[in-house]
Amino acid sequence: MTEINIITDRAELEERLRELAETEYTGILNPGAMCYVPVMPKPEEYTCPVCGNITTLSGYNIRNIRAIGEIVENIRDLGFDVQLDEREFCGFCAESVKDIEGVEVVGKRIEGRPELFFRIRFDEDSDYHIARSNFPDHYKCVLAFLTGDETYTNDFDDTRTLHDNIEILQKMLGIGPDIPVPPKPEGPPKGPPPAGRLSNKDILGVLRKKPDSDD
């Protein structure tokens, strides 16, 4: 078993982020094999971890909260001081989220949509950095970075490199805001996806579609 050396020092993490921004990934990135439409889970009852009350949420939201919650647990297991604030999804607590207004939160608010807030700090004396994101990929990116990996596997089973996701790490972790973000590499030519493979947009369209009536 190889021993993983987890860096928890903010300055050292910034140094690593700068290295990632200034270099290119030299490995091979595997495109995922997902060519099926994922089954949209049905709405479910959600028990708020703060107040214990129950709210019914869409299957899409339930799935994301669970996936992100697990990733945040993994980040905590590495030894980081992290919290996931789910209160906006609770019909009883959402109001109380107002108390973080005035704190600088990174990320654009999408009006009328509940959001998860990720909090992290690198030492006890600092305030938490707060970022908003409902995307499991952003958290996977953070977990990979803090584990010392160079890549992560996104929701569509594609391997992605952290070198191309510097902005997400800056946003989520609040480190190295001055590190210049390298230009995005040229992607494959735009056009329809290869036969048998759905585009990410198609899959998202299906996932976001309101489920038909339950029975």
Q: Please state, in angstroms and rounded to a whole number, the distance separating the CA atoms of residues 178 and 26.
A: 25
Q: Which is nearer to Zn ion, 54 or 67 (CB)?
A: 54
Residue among 76, 108, 96, 102 at smallest CA distance from 8: 76
Toward Zn ion, which CB reaches closer, 72 or 90?
Answer: 90
**Measured from the CB of residue 61, what is the shortest distance to Zn ion in angstroms?**
14
48 or 204, CB closer to Zn ion?
48
For Zn ion, give the closer residue by CB, 19 or 95. Answer: 95
Residue 77, both tokens: 């297991």
Structure tokens at 109: 């608010």
Q: Identify which of 122, 121, 157, 106 has the alpha carbon closest to the alpha carbon of residue 136.
A: 157
The nearest distance, CB 47 to Zn ion, in angstroms, is 9
* Smallest separation, CB 100 to Zn ion (Å): 15
Q: Token pair for residue 98?
A: 């107002």
Compute the distance between CA of residue 145 and CA of residue 6 in angstroms, rounded to an integer. 10
Residue ranges that bind Zn ion, judged by CB under 5 A: 48, 50-51, 90, 92-93
Q: Is 23 exposed, middle or buried (CB count within 10 Å of its CB: 0-12, 13-18, 19+)?
A: exposed
Nearer to Zn ion, 34 or 48 (CB): 48
Q: How far is the CB of 93 from Zn ion (least distance, A)?
A: 3
Kindly state the smallest distance separating residue 180's Cβ from Zn ion, in Å: 41
